Structure 1
Amino acid sequence: MLTLPGHLFHDDLMVNQLSKLCDTVIKLDSFAGSDKEKNPAFKEYHGLLHVKQLPRLNSFIPAQPETSDLAFKLRRKKFTVEKLHLPPELSDTPSRTQSAGDVFSLSQPTSGCGSTSSSKLSF
Structure 2
Amino acid sequence: GSITRLCDNAIALESFKGSERETNPLYKDYHGLLQVLQVPHLNCLASQLPDHKDLAFKLKRKQFSIERLHLPPDLSETVSRVSRGELAGAPVSACGSGAPGTKHLDF
What's the TM-score once normalised by structure 1's chain length?
A: 0.64
Amino acid at match of 1:86: L
Work out which of the two has the higher radius of gyration on C-alpha atoms and give 1 or 2: 1
Distance (Å, rounded) in 1 between the aligned partners of 2:44 and 2:92: 51
Q: 1:78 aligns with which of 59, 63, 74?
A: 63
Q: 2:45 aligns with which of 54, 60, 69?
A: 60
Distance (Å, rounded) in 1 between the aligned partners of 2:31 and 2:20: 12
Query: Are 1:21 and 2:6 counterparts?
Result: yes
Distance (Å, rounded) in 2 between the aligned partners of 1:75 and 1:97: 41
Q: Deviations over 1:53-74 (max 9, x none)?
A: 0010111121332411110001
Q: 1:34, CA displacement in angstroms?
A: 0.9
Task: Identify if the C-alpha distance between structure 1 residues 32 and 56 changes in structure 2 by more than 3 Å, giving closer, same or farther.
Answer: same
2:22 is paired with a residue whose SS is helix
Q: Percent identity?
A: 48
Runs (5+) with no aligned partner, structure 2: 99-107
Runs (5+) with no aligned partner, structure 1: 1-15, 107-111, 114-123
Name the Cα RMSD after superposition.
2.7
Question: How many pairs does the alignment contain?
Answer: 92
Q: 1:18, CA displacement in angstroms?
A: 1.0
- Tell me the equivalent position of 2:91: 104
